[in-house]
A = this chain, B = another copy of it.
């Protein structure tokens, strides 16, 4: 029975690609995303074509019980969850305070912060009992500095970062590796950046900054580091790291 890698937020970007990578390394990847059944099937299909194991579920993480039931079902039907990739974002673009509704603010928190709390509450006790597990949390610049128009996003991600540290403080010594991975830049991801920019501008960005210029972060390469972190020996765990394109300035420089 293969160990399971559960991906929350498995679009055609970091989530799906990391899932595919873990499948390639011998995990059964369970891909969960909110919408786009066709896209989900495409990702699962690609993993199957690689000759590896995966399954997919449409799941709205903010629905009551949705996360908890999925965790239970995966553990019962597929196997012990050894790795969680928590990849739910809450970026809604820049919005002034007046343009940020209570609902939007709460939604950001429900996905990016409460969502992780729910996953951890469901999964950590099982991992602790087994004495091992890994929770890889995709994070964003907004987790370390607030900015204009980022009221909802920064509040959600900042809370999430402190939650990661609190989870680490309780569970590291029980064998659970929590890593907070700060994605500090634009990812070559059709399902997030692509949708935010629209097809045309995204293609343009790819041609000018990405491609041979390597100025967009490549999900396959991000997956290398996610997998490395998950493989670190327990005497040398990384809790926090940043990732950005060589040609980009670090967040503290702009």
User: Which A residues have a C-beta under 8 Å from some C-beta of B?
Assistant: 96-98, 100, 102, 105-106, 109, 113-114, 117-118, 120-121, 124-125, 142-151, 154-173, 175, 177, 188, 214-218, 221-222, 224-225, 228, 231-254
Q: A143 to B143, alpha carbons, bound, how many Å?
A: 12
Q: Is the CB of B149 within 8 A of A170?
A: yes
Q: Which residues of B contact A216 (CB under 8 A)?
A: 235
Q: Determine if B241 and A236 form an interchain contact, defined as CB atoms under 8 angstroms apart.
A: no
Q: Which of B96, B149, B162 contacts A158 (CB 8 A)?
A: B162
Given A218-B233, A225-B232, answer yes or no on A247-B163 (Cβ-Cβ < 8 Å): no
Least Cβ–Cβ distance between A225 and chain B, in angstroms: 6
Q: A144-B252, A188-B235, A221-B236 are in contact. List 16 more A-B contacts (CB 8 A).
A: A117-B155, A147-B253, A148-B166, A149-B170, A151-B163, A151-B167, A154-B166, A155-B159, A155-B160, A155-B163, A173-B247, A224-B233, A234-B246, A235-B246, A236-B245, A237-B243
Residues of B within 8 A of A105 (CB): 114, 117
Instruction: Report how far A147 CA is from B168 CA in the complex, Å.
Output: 8
Copies of this protein, total: 4
Give the residues in chain B near A228, CB-CB below 8 Å: 224-225, 228
Question: Which of B149, B164, B214, B236 touches A225 (beta carbons < 8 Å)?
Answer: B236
Complex A-B: 22 CB contacts under 8 Å: A97-B167, A97-B171, A102-B117, A109-B113, A113-B155, A143-B162, A145-B253, A146-B165, A146-B168, A147-B253, A149-B170, A157-B162, A158-B161, A169-B249, A224-B228, A225-B232, A235-B246, A237-B243, A237-B245, A238-B242, A239-B242, A240-B241
Residue of B nearest to A96 (CB): B170
Q: Return the contact of A170 from the options B148, B155, B235, B246 (Cβ within 8 A).
A: B148
Complex Cα gap A148–B51 (Å) = 42
Taking a contact as CB atoms under 8 Å apart, the answer to whether B97 and A106 are in contact is no
User: A188 CA to B236 CA in the complex, in Å?
Assistant: 11
Given contacts A151-B163, A175-B246, contact A233 B252 (CB under 8 A): no
Cα separation A143 to B162 with both chains bound (whole Å): 7
A106 to chain B, nearest CB (A): 7
